[in-house]
Amino acid sequence: MNILVINCGSSSAKFQLFDIDTGKVLAKGNAERIGIGNSKLTYKPDGGEAVVIEQDMPDHKVAVKMILDALVNAEYGVIASVDEITAVGHRVLHAGKYYSESVIVNDDVKRVIRECFPLGPLHNPANLIGIEACESVLPAGTPQVAVFDTAFHQTMPPKAFMYALPYEYYEKYDIRRYGFHGTSHRYVSKRTAEFLGKDPKDLKIITCHLGNGSSFAAVDGGKCVDTSMGLTPLAGICMGTRTGDIDPAIVPFIMQKEGLTPEEMDTLLNKKSGVMGISGVSSDFRDLAKAAGEGNERAQLALDMFAYQGKKIIGSFAAAMGGVDVIVFTAGIGENTDTMRAAMTDDLEFLGVKVDPELNMGLRGKEAVISTADSKVTVCVIPTNEELAIAQETEALVR
Ligand code: ADP
């Protein structure tokens, strides 16, 4: 069974076509600059050379049509006809309070995605456009599945998801913690249990998704009970360019001092802060490590802050669950950076966490346990694969 996975942004559409029975990616690529001129489609078939097709893509419908044409192309295509695509799985940012699982798209689902536009103003409209583009271009009746970034976190209890604002703002505007990276936290926590040969029901897991955006989830018995991101992905640990948690009073303070509009303040918090803002060097952790190694103190400070804030979240989630059995690292930094994994778990022996420096050192991008044999808490690395997770959830729904 072939499943097409699509992740639509406002001017882009990333895709992967999976043969879900083998888990193999048949082809993948990205349509860029949709609707803004100079658009191009980069397409790479499995085992073949990448092809770049420069052609005007005024809207997402044209982009999806070009992706499908590439997939069936006589020279570099990987399927004979679009009928061989059984279903499409769409990454959708926000389902608000409405869905805790992936769903097959119908009019009601589209209404919910639309209703959540204010909660995900940059992503949800693009995600819906992607769904509608696929509906109009693929054979009628091809199921479209929405896989939401927020869904996995919907099992959080109110004491974890409410903010201590006047209650009316929850009622009027649905302001609460939602959490993101849910597809990754769900996939990684499930895969961790499989990898360790345990039943998820018997495990208290803290999943640490450390990438450009970073978030943590407390997963007790297979269900998310707390997470570090909030109403938006700005909350929690400091990130590449996002502040993470700060004293909210800082926001009006800077706005008044600098005479900033809400939009300008939003940009400052999301795009100019985080480890980039602290270091003045880069948002990329490889650049930071290099600069810190060369003696740049602010780059070192940014790395220290990231490790320290992550450690505090791990400690608080262990307290929230009344213990922790497994800490799992994933995404770009979690999978590849031994020094950050070590720094974030350093001094946690009181919690029963002992990382083995030899198992940790140099480990990149593969499933492994990195804690010592006598560590009460198992620490491991499990690479995330959000596209495969979306394909699997899509398959499960349409089978
Ligand atoms: P995104 O949130 O954009 O998917 P990723 O999960 O790819 O981000 O993570 C990006 C971060 O991971 C960057 O800060 C980068 O430095 C780090 N990273 C990615 N790959 C590696 C690697 N091979 N070695 C060290 N760090 C890496």
pLDDT in tens, the chain (399 residues): 999 999 998 889 999 999 999 999 999 999 999 998 999 999 999 999 999 999 999 999 999 999 999 999 999 999 999 999 999 999 999 999 999 999 999 999 999 999 999 888 889 999 999 999 999 999 999 999 999 999 999 999 999 999 999 999 999 999 999 999 999 999 999 999 999 999 999 999 999 999 999 999 999 999 999 999 999 999 999 999 999 999 999 999 999 999 999 999 999 999 999 999 999 999 999 999 999 999 999 999 999 999 999 999 999 999 999 999 999 999 999 999 999 999 999 999 999 999 999 999 999 999 999 999 999 999 999 999 999 999 999 999 998
Does 284 contact ligand 1 (Cβ within 6 A)?
yes
Dig out the tokens for 125 from the structure: 């409209």
> How far is the CA of 166 from the CAs of 171, 177, 234, 236, in angstroms?
10, 15, 21, 22
Sorted by where each begins, the domain ranges of the chain are 2-148, 198-386
- Determine the Cα–Cα distance for residues 138 and 76; give it in Å rounded to an integer: 20
Work out which ligand 1 atom sits closest to the CA atom of 209. Answer: 6
User: In this predicted structure, what is the pLDDT of residue 122?
Assistant: 83
Active site residue 149: yes
User: Amino acid letter at 166?
Assistant: P
User: In this predicted structure, what is the pLDDT of residue 121?
Assistant: 86
User: In this predicted structure, what is the pLDDT of residue 290?
Assistant: 97
- Determine the Cα–Cα distance for residues 337 and 302; give it in Å rounded to an integer: 15
User: In this predicted structure, what is the pLDDT of residue 193?
Assistant: 98
Does 287 contact ligand 1 (Cβ within 6 A)?
no
Does 208 contact ligand 1 (Cβ within 6 A)?
no
CATH says 198-386 is which class? alpha beta
Work out which ligand 1 atom sits closest to the CA atom of 331. Answer: 6
Q: Are the C-beta atoms of residues 323 and 225 closer than 8 Å to each other?
A: no
Q: Which of 21, 46, 149, 174 is catalytic?
A: 149
* Topology annotation, domain 2-148: Nucleotidyltransferase; domain 5 (3.30.420)
Q: Separation of 61 CA from ligand 1 center, angstroms?
A: 31
Dig out the tokens for 94 from the structure: 């926000």
Does 383 contact ligand 1 (Cβ within 6 A)?
no
Q: Are the C-beta atoms of residues 325 and 377 closer than 8 Å to each other?
A: yes
Does 337 contact ligand 1 (Cβ within 6 A)?
yes
Dig out the tokens for 377 from the structure: 């808490």
- Predicted TM-score (pTM) of the model is 0.93
Work out which ligand 1 atom sits closest to the CA atom of 334. Answer: 12
E strands of the chain, at which residues? 2-8, 13-19, 24-32, 40-45, 51-54, 85-92, 103-104, 144-148, 204-210, 214-220, 223-227, 326-330, 368-369, 378-381
